[in-house]
Structure 1
């Protein structure tokens, strides 16, 4: 694979990570949860070949963590009812 092809793949992965961050923000927002530091990890995108950009879910306060756990538990329970 040429350098140009690798950069194209890397750019696609970064765009996919950006899309994932947008979708996560929208999804969390729809249930009233905001993760203020949700973002792409810039260190994982450094250099010419970021093959695996990381999504940093970030830090949140205790209230947000508890709300997330309630949502996840509700989803898990709903999945067992089917």
Structure 2
């Protein structure tokens, strides 16, 4: 039971991180249409969820790069 609880917590945390990223990107005027959780990383009894940034058009990649350059370090 604890294993499944921990696995579910990890997945919920990854979903929260994905939504935080989506919100921050939207604030910067950037949409990554394929932003999701990596299905393979969710498999098994001990998932290690990964946020999959997915694909984007070259102009979106440039917007993302510009936003990162503006970000304070």
**TM-score normalised according to structure 2 size:** 0.92
- SS, match of residue 28 in structure 1: helix
Determine the structure 2 residue equivalent to 1:57: 53
User: How many residues align structurally?
Assistant: 73
Deviating beyond 4 angstroms after TM superposition, the runs of 4 or more aligned structure 1 residues are none
Q: CA RMSD in A?
A: 1.0
Deviation at 1:22, TM superposition (A): 0.7
The structure whose residues are more often helix, as a share, is: 1
Name stretches of at least 5 consecutive residues in structure 1 with no aligned partner: none
Determine the structure 2 residue equivalent to 1:37: 34
Deviation at 1:7, TM superposition (A): 1.1
Q: Give, in whole Å, the separation in 2 of the partners of 1:17 and 1:35.
A: 16
Q: Give, in whole Å, the separation in 1 of the partners of 2:17 and 2:52.
A: 11
TM-superposition CA deviations, 1:15-67 (whole Å, max 9, x none): 000001111111100111000000001111112321x1111011111000001
Name stretches of at least 5 consecutive residues in structure 2 with no aligned partner: none
